[in-house]
């Protein structure tokens, strides 16, 4: 069965430093997509970044980058130059296959990031 | 702002009652997804619709049902509510439910069953 594992329940980082949030996944599909979402205390889910299993380059979106290591089945999120507004829960998610009838997302348990001034 | 709207934002009701959650997808999106976020189960996929048709079902209870209307808005109906149904319910949308599309989430409806 497909599964997403986030082993860090919580993390602290100093403002302006970089931080890596870990995500490993398990799937037998050759084609899949990986996502990171941010959930601030207000509750909404904000899309951050996407990586397709066939993408050769690591995805980047502004201060967010995804360290994709396919052989190790890991898709870690790197946030550079942390800001106080980055304090939130971060979820890694995987979409089942790219050819299936559904595009449901499977989520990890999340990592709570606290940025300290 | 993702462009996905959900109403109401908060809902407090009693056990045994029925509620309806409403979602309007982003302009142009044909596919709608419903997710439940609870403390014990985390974020779980409930159901997906595409252009009015049910496309996939996840861990959705029989007491729950959904539909997508011709104008593409969707409603999630929760009946015979139990304390354990208290959760944050998200709607997400994507253009065609296709392979490489990002799902954009609405702000959620926070349901509290007393």
Model confidence at B23, pLDDT cuts 50, 70, 90, reads: very high
Q: What percent of chain B has pLDDT over 90?
A: 86
| A100 has pLDDT over 70 | no
A103 to B108: CB separation less than 8 angstroms, yes or no: no
A104 vs B2, B33, B99: nearest CB? B33
Query: Cα distance from B99 to chain A (closest Cα, Å)?
Result: 5
A75 is written with which tokens?
Answer: 């898709």
Cβ-based contacts of B43 with chain A (< 8 Å) = 91, 93, 105, 107
Most A CBs within 10 Å, among B42, B93, B107, B112, to test the A interface: B42
| A98 has pLDDT over 60 | no
Per-residue DSSP letter, B26: P
Cβ-based contacts of B35 with chain A (< 8 Å) = 105
Range A58-90 burial, b when 16+ CB lie within 10 A, else e = ebeeeebbbbbeeeeebbbbbbeebeeebbbbb
CA B13 to CA A74: how far, in whole Å?
Answer: 42
A107 vs B42, B94, B110: nearest CB? B42
Closest-CA residue of B relative to A51 is B100
Per-residue DSSP letter, B84: G
Torsion sign, CA atoms A8, B45, B10, A45: positive
CA A67 to CA A25: how far, in whole Å?
Answer: 13
Give the number of other CB atoms < 10 A from CB of residue B89: 24
Across residues A75-95, what is the average pLDDT? 97
Across residues B13-41, what is the average pLDDT? 96
| pLDDT score recorded for residue B96 | 82
CA B105 to CA B101: how far, in whole Å?
Answer: 13
pLDDT tens-digit series, residues B60-88: 999 999 999 999 999 999 999 999 999 99
Model confidence at B99, pLDDT cuts 50, 70, 90, reads: low
């Amino acid at each position: 069965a497909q599964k997403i594992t986030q082993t860090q329940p919580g993390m602290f980082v100093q403002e302006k430093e970089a931080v890596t949030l870990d995500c490993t996944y398990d799937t037998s599909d050759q084609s899949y997509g990986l996502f990171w979402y941010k959930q601030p205390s207000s509750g909404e889910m904000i899309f951050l970044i996407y990586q397709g299993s066939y993408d050769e380059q690591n995805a980047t979106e502004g201060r967010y980058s995804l360290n994709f290591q396919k052989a190790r089945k890991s898709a870690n999120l790197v946030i550079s130059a942390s800001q106080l507004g980055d304090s939130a829960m971060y979820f890694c998610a995987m979409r089942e296959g790219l050819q299936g009838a559904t595009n449901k997302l499977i989520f990890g348990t999340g990592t709570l990031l606290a940025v300290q001034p | 702002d993702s462009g996905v709207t959900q109403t109401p934002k908060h809902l407090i009701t009693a056990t045994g009652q029925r509620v309806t959650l409403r979602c309007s997808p982003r302009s142009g999106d044909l596919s709608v997804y419903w997710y439940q976020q609870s403390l014990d189960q985390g974020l779980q996929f409930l159901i997906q619709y595409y252009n009015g048709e049910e496309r996939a079902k996840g861990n959705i209870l029989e007491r729950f049902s959904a539909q997508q209307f011709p104008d593409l808005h969707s409603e999630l109906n929760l009946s015979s509510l139990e304390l354990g149904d208290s959760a944050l319910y998200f709607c997400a949308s994507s253009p065609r439910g296709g392979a490489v599309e990002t799902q954009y989430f609405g702000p959620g409806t926070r349901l509290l069953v007393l």
